Structure 1
Amino acid sequence: MAVLSSTDPQKSRSPEDHGDPSFATTLAHGLDVLAAFRNHSGSLSNAELALHTGLSRPTVSRLTYTLEQLGYLKRDTKGRFQLGLGILAAAYPVLSALKVRQLARPLMRDFAAYTGGTVSIAMPFGLDFIYVETLRTTDAVAHLPDVGFAGSLAPTAVGRALLSLFTRQELDDYVAKVKAERPEEADYVKARTLPDIELCKERGFAISLGDWRREIFGVAAPLYRTPSGDCLSVNCGIPSFRFNAEQIERECGPRMLGLARSIRSLVASD
């Protein structure tokens, strides 16, 4: 099974694409520039940002200048752009409002120690998931995600766990959006993701045996929906040399289900 790639920032859309005359195109373009950094840990030039966003060089130059003045971008010694601290300041209220992050950490630490992997809490973000908390006790995993890391819902255990919390209409909308925006994932979603979502609903956890990254086995469980409708799930990325597929299914899966139940109990009693 080929590993599905991480998502690239979406191309900018015009008001006509949205069918909404109130849509602020310039604002959307600026956010597209910021989103281009999601899959790049280093700096980007205006030319590279133009390539990633599909915007013209003059437009990108105006946007990066404005974003730099506002503190959302900064220049490195070569004049290339990096994300600025304004991004972190804007994200703080979102993270601080998620009390589950603090409550779940001791339980997440225990599970990370058991598996030798990385335990995270995730929320859906369009066709992707995004980590709002992550914890590990070892650096044995080559891929070490952190808070803010995003990846595709389709091939991941955490994505399937999140999607299991969707209503039927939300799931139908997700499938339609995949077909429209990521047609290369459509067949995979139909053949693998949707059946695994139903399996997750039946047994309470989802697994992904190297579908996303060959060297990582994933196991995840849905947590809950917030009163405002946000979905959360907990997952663990486990080095494939630590457990075989049968152990992931028979041992790690039920333990992950127990972890999710314990986290829900803590949140309910807080």
Structure 2
Amino acid sequence: MPDSDKRYANTLARGLSILRAFRPTDNGLGNLDLSERTGIPRSTVSRLTFTLCALGYLTHGRHHDKYRLGPAALALGNIAAASFSFVEIATSIMQRLADETATLIGVSIQDDGKMLMVKTWRPAGSPSIWLDVGYRMPMLSSSSGAAYVGALTDEETAKLAALLPEDQGQALTRLTEQAREQLLAKGYAFVSGPERFAQSINALATPYRPSEFGAPVAFFSGATSDALSDDRIHDSVGPALARAVDELRRATGQGFPAIAPH
């Protein structure tokens, strides 16, 4: 595990865990909330939130008010977003795909062993209740996770395995093999049936490896199971997503697929 390395700064890792605990739907979090979400003792959380407030990464209006992400966190996020040019280039391509397929199109990244939704494109007239930025999906039971692990090199897979609980090792191996086969045969990966983490939502995903990142991201298409059946995935939406990501690769000057050779 990374925390067994002498170079690993545990206090820094805990502070970042506090920032990661916040979700878009939160109306502020208290020290107890943060302790429960992160597993960090409440006394330690109190010291970390004090420090993060002093640095501007958290804020709270009054002494007993709950914490919210502060201006420093917003500035850091905006700087990071501006650094990834592929998202801006992808916007016209993915918005067109969202409108044509009437599905939610988005980008998810691996974050602490889960897939974090970081950008979405909604079809015109879509309901506001659809998932949005900040939502986290399980790594091993989501199509985004499948596309991500299927695109990893053997070395990257080994590093990911070190982040996950030991009892998930076999599941990671199975998903990796299945996803690689799907990506090579179809250009997209998907998790269907009882293995899918949310039975009410169906999705598929295709990996893309940005030059700015050291690892792939997953472009996904999702909708309710009624609107996006397995048959529709294979007949039209899956191939359309694969073509859209190929178009993005050409637009960004990438002449190679995201899937690593094995």
Assess same fold via TM > 0.5: yes
- TM norm structure 2: 0.83
Corresponding residue number in structure 2 for 1:90: 76
CA–CA distance in structure 1, aligned partners of residues 94 and 213 of structure 2: 25
Single out whichever of 189-198 and 256-265 deviates more from structure 2.
Answer: 189-198
Q: CA deviation at 1:174?
A: 2.5
Q: Is the 8 A contact 2:149 2:176 kept in 1?
A: no
Q: CA deviation at 1:56?
A: 2.9
CA–CA distance in structure 1, aligned partners of residues 59 and 185 of structure 2: 48
CA–CA distance in structure 1, aligned partners of residues 228 and 39 of structure 2: 43
CA–CA distance in structure 1, aligned partners of residues 87 and 66 of structure 2: 34
Alignment match of 1:150 (pick from 107, 114, 136)? 136
Q: CA deviation at 1:266?
A: 1.1
Which 5+ residue runs of structure 1 have no aligned equivalent? 1-12
Change over 3 Å in CA distance of 1:29–1:176 after alignment to 2? closer
Change over 3 Å in CA distance of 1:19–1:268 after alignment to 2? closer
CA–CA distance in structure 2, aligned partners of residues 47 and 228 of structure 1: 34
Q: Is the 8 A contact 1:209 1:216 kept in 2?
A: no
Corresponding residue number in structure 2 for 1:79: 65
Q: Which amino acid aligns with 2:223?
A: I
Corresponding residue number in structure 1 for 2:249: 264
1:61 aligns with 2:46: yes
CA–CA distance in structure 2, aligned partners of residues 242 and 40 of structure 1: 25
Q: Is the 8 A contact 1:141 1:239 kept in 2?
A: no
Q: Secondary structure at the match of 1:121?
A: strand
Q: Secondary structure at the match of 1:130?
A: strand
Q: CA deviation at 1:225?
A: 4.6
1:237 aligns with 2:222: yes
1:130 aligns with 2:116: yes
Q: Is the 8 A contact 1:116 1:239 kept in 2?
A: no
Change over 3 Å in CA distance of 1:121–1:173 after alignment to 2? same
CA–CA distance in structure 2, aligned partners of residues 192 and 19 of structure 1: 28
Alignment match of 1:167 (pick from 146, 153, 156)? 153
CA–CA distance in structure 1, aligned partners of residues 219 and 247 of structure 2: 11
Change over 3 Å in CA distance of 1:243–1:59 after alignment to 2? closer
Which 5+ residue runs of structure 2 have no aligned equivalent? 255-262
Alignment match of 2:92 (pick from 90, 97, 106)? 106
Single out whichever of 85-94 and 207-216 deviates more from structure 2.
Answer: 207-216
Q: Is the 8 A contact 2:98 2:104 kept in 1?
A: yes
CA–CA distance in structure 1, aligned partners of residues 74 and 165 of structure 2: 33
Corresponding residue number in structure 2 for 1:8: none
State the aligned residue count: 250
Q: Deviations over 1:6-51 (max 9, x none)?
A: xxxxxxx9x9x4231x433322222222222248623221122223
Alignment match of 1:44 (pick from 15, 29, 41)? 29
Q: Secondary structure at the match of 2:160?
A: helix
Q: CA RMSD, aligned part only?
A: 2.7
Q: Deviations over 1:152-207 (max 9, x none)?
A: 32212122112222112222332353233xx3x45543454542333223321112
CA–CA distance in structure 2, aligned partners of residues 160 and 222 of structure 1: 9
Q: Deviations over 1:207-231 (max 9, x none)?
A: 2336132221112112235265331
Task: Quote the sequence identity (%).
Answer: 25
Single out whichever of 171-180 and 255-264 deviates more from structure 2.
Answer: 171-180
- TM norm structure 1: 0.80
Change over 3 Å in CA distance of 1:197–1:85 after alignment to 2? farther
Alignment match of 2:198 (pick from 209, 213, 218)? 213
Q: Secondary structure at the match of 1:131?
A: strand
Q: Secondary structure at the match of 1:268?
A: coil
Change over 3 Å in CA distance of 1:52–1:199 after alignment to 2? same
